[in-house]
Structure 1
Amino acid sequence: MGSGKFGVYVPEDLMIELSRCMQALGIKSRSVAVREALNLFILEHKWRYGGKVTGVLGLVYDHEVNDVDEALTDIQHKYLQNVISALHIHLNERDCMLLLVVKGEASEIKNLLSELMNLKGVKLVRPLLLSAEK
Structure 2
Amino acid sequence: MQRITISLDEALLTAIDERVGTHGYQGRSEAIRDLLRAGLLGEQGGDPQAACVATLSYVYDHGTRELSKRLNSAFHAHHDLTLSTLHVHLDQGKCMEVSVLKGTVGEVSELARHVMAERGVRHGSAQIIPLSEVDQSGADV
Q: TM-score range by the shorter chain?
A: 0.7 to 0.9
Q: RMSD value over aligned CA atoms?
A: 2.4
User: How many Å separate the matches in 1 of 2:107 and 2:13?
Assistant: 39
Moved more, 102-111 or 40-49: 40-49
CA distance in 2, matches of 1:20, 1:118: 34
Which structure has more relative contact order (CA 8 Å, sep 6+)? It is 1
- Find 1:37's aligned residue among 17, 32, 36: 32
Q: Are the equivalent residues in 2 in contact too, given 1:61–1:123 (CA < 8 A)? A: yes
1:89-128 paired onto structure 2 within 5 Å: 89-128=88-127
Aligned residues between the structures:
128
Instruction: Measure the CA separation in 2 of the matches of 1:38 and 1:26.
Output: 11
Unaligned ranges ≥5, structure 2: 134-141
Kindly provide the CA deviation profile for residues 24-57 of structure 1, in whole angstroms up to 9, marking residues without a partner as x: 7484xxxx42244314541675372121110210
Instruction: Give the Å deviation of 1:92.
Output: 1.3
The alignment status of 1:77 with 2:76, answered yes or no, reads yes
Q: Does 1:46 align with 2:44?
A: no
Q: Using the alignment, how far apart are the partners of 2:25 and 2:71 within structure 1?
A: 44
In structure 2, distance between residues paired with 1:116 and 1:44: 22
> What TM-score comes out, normalization by structure 2 length?
0.76
**In the alignment, does 2:4 pair up with 1:5?**
yes
4+ aligned runs moved over 2 Å, structure 1 = 12-27, 34-37, 43-47
Q: Is the 8 A contact 1:54 1:103 kept in 2?
A: yes
The range that moved more, 122-131 or 39-48, is: 39-48
Q: 1:60 to 1:21 in 2, by over 3 A?
A: closer
Q: Secondary structure at the match of 1:73?
A: helix
* CA-CA distance at 1:22 after TM superposition: 4.3
